[in-house]
Structure 1
Amino acid sequence: MFVNIIDTTGKMVIDLCNRAGQLGIFFYESLETLFTTKLKTKKVFYQMSYIGVGSIWVIILIGVTVGAVLAVQAYYGLHKFGAERFIGPIVFISMVREFGPVFTAIMVIGRAGSAITAEIGTMRITEQIDALQTLCINVKQYLIVPRILASTIILPFLSIFCSLLGIVAGYFMSVYVLNINPEMYTEAIKESVVFSDITSGLIKAIFFGLLLSLVSTYKGYTTSGGAKGVGISTTQSVVLANIIIFIADYILSTLMF
């Protein structure tokens, strides 16, 4: 039994390393394509519109609700100690450094990332990708790079938008519902927030945009097994992308604090 556990664990580790290596090669080839071939600018802008504009309403909902909940939770925690003035900095820093980038990435994964995997996966199983390769079309230049680049560019803007909505919602909740002095609220933010809080959130958003699009395109590109395989790849894409986002968030937070 002990030997079986070791054997199973070893196979899982080897499989994980193999998949990580394949993903790394896929990223390297996509990066090489970006710098060695002509960029499909129209496709990049189309994907930016699809990922960005299509996700606006979800981002609005998430930003407002998270900001309001943060303000309420901070109030009930700090009110016991008479430290309500710190609600503003807590909401601001939490949204900019953490919740803005992370929740934006999660929403984009669920909406756009899954669609990217399903679209490319369908093209793979219906042999459309094989047809493009037969016509000597660079598939990574045509399908992969525009999506990765678009996601990497647009996610910081979505993250900023989400963070701003959360900060505004937190302000209104604090001032008009919890009766916090507005001047005290804003002054505490000015005293506590530094520029690195903003830049760290932007850096996270850039990395998250790159990672989620890389996973989504990779899982779609390597889809097999017919229509059932598309569903499996899409599910795996969403789960894997979320796991990678949380791991990356931990690493980046540790490095930037």
Structure 2
Amino acid sequence: MKVKQKQPRRYVISQKLDAFFIDMYSLGQFMGRFFRAVFLPPYEFKEIIKQSYAVGVKSLPLITLTGFITGIVFTKQSRPSLSEFGATSWLPSLVAIAIIRALAPLVTGLITAGKVGSNIGAELGSMKVTEQIDAMEVSATNPFKFLVVTRVLATTFMVPLLMLYMALLALAGAFVNVHANEQTSFVSFIENGFHSINFIDIFSSVLKSIVFGFTIGIISCYQGYNTTQGTQGVGRAANTSVVMAMFLIFIEEIVIVQITNWFRP
């Protein structure tokens, strides 16, 4: 009976690093293929609308609940700290800045990555392992154009819209809490809240949402489109899509915040 020798730690780490860089190279090629295909006909407008409906409309209930609760909870948590300094009048401004600059795009991106990213990864993964993608190629249909490009465009277009919707719901939840405790009118809440908001704040939030949406779409499609090892690979593709998309969203958040801060007065 042969005893299996344990591989040295350095060799294992080297293998993992090699696999990581190979995966990054393959992802770069996948993104390049997307940018080449997105500008070439045929243009699958019906499929883009269908995927936009799946990404946007079907996510509204979760976004609505999360956005409203986020506004209420953040306001409740911020009030005691401001009350110690007698600065509760600054609460609308603080909440508006936090929601528009950070909470709305980040929370929307994370929710979409969890809900939509896993769905895309599992859907394309199951099509890959059951050879449906190969069948589309035989039938003279471009599967990359029909499956990948449409889904990436849908997430890129819809995540910014979901972010704006969530920001409005979060501000509505904040107003309900502020009005219940300080009896602040709606007009006063809006005036105080948006007093410190400028164009750069809104632009950076929309930019982050566009980048987050593209990241969710391209990562999920890449994982699903390159699924192997049958049904086990489908589950791995769905899980990896969510984890990798969320990780990149945090990295992109840091980078975009740093860049936009250079342009602030």
Structure with more of its chain in helix, by fraction: 1
Residues 184 and 82 (structure 1), Cα distance of their counterparts in 2 relative to 1, 3 Å cut: farther
Which residue of structure 2 lines up, in the alignment, with residue 244 of structure 1? 248
Alpha-carbon distance between aligned partners in 1 of 2:146 and 2:240, rounded to the nearest angstrom: 23
Contact 1:85 1:184 in 2 (8 A): no
Deviations 1:190-238 (A, max 9, x none): 4311121111110110000000010111100010111111111111111
Which residue of structure 2 lines up, in the alignment, with residue 159 of structure 1? 163
How many percent identity over aligned positions? 30
Moved more, 98-107 or 119-128: 98-107
Q: CA deviation at 1:19?
A: 1.0
Q: CA deviation at 1:4?
A: 4.2
Write out aligned runs for 1:1-257 (5 A).
4-176=8-180, 178-179=181-182, 181-182=184-185, 185-257=189-261
Q: CA deviation at 1:9?
A: 3.3
Q: CA deviation at 1:12?
A: 2.6
Alpha-carbon distance between aligned partners in 2 of 1:48 and 1:116, rounded to the nearest angstrom: 12
Contact 1:121 1:221 in 2 (8 A): yes
C-alpha RMSD of the superposition: 1.6
Q: Calculate the TM-score normalised by the size of structure 2.
A: 0.91
Ranges in structure 2 where 5+ consecutive residues have no aligned partner:
1-6
Q: CA deviation at 1:13?
A: 2.5
Alpha-carbon distance between aligned partners in 1 of 2:96 and 2:193, rounded to the nearest angstrom: 7
Amino acid at match of 2:240: Q
Amino acid at match of 1:163: A
Deviations 1:26-61 (A, max 9, x none): 011011001122210000000000110100000001
Amino acid at match of 2:242: V
Count of aligned residue pairs for this structure pair: 254
Alpha-carbon distance between aligned partners in 1 of 2:208 and 2:123, rounded to the nearest angstrom: 27
Deviations 1:130-166 (A, max 9, x none): 1112223211111100000011011111000001100
SS in 2 for 1:109: helix
Amino acid at match of 1:61: L
Contact 1:211 1:245 in 2 (8 A): yes
Moved more, 33-42 or 132-141: 132-141
Q: CA deviation at 1:187?
A: 3.5
Ranges in structure 1 where 5+ consecutive residues have no aligned partner:
none
Residues 80 and 180 (structure 1), Cα distance of their counterparts in 2 relative to 1, 3 Å cut: farther
SS in 2 for 1:36: coil
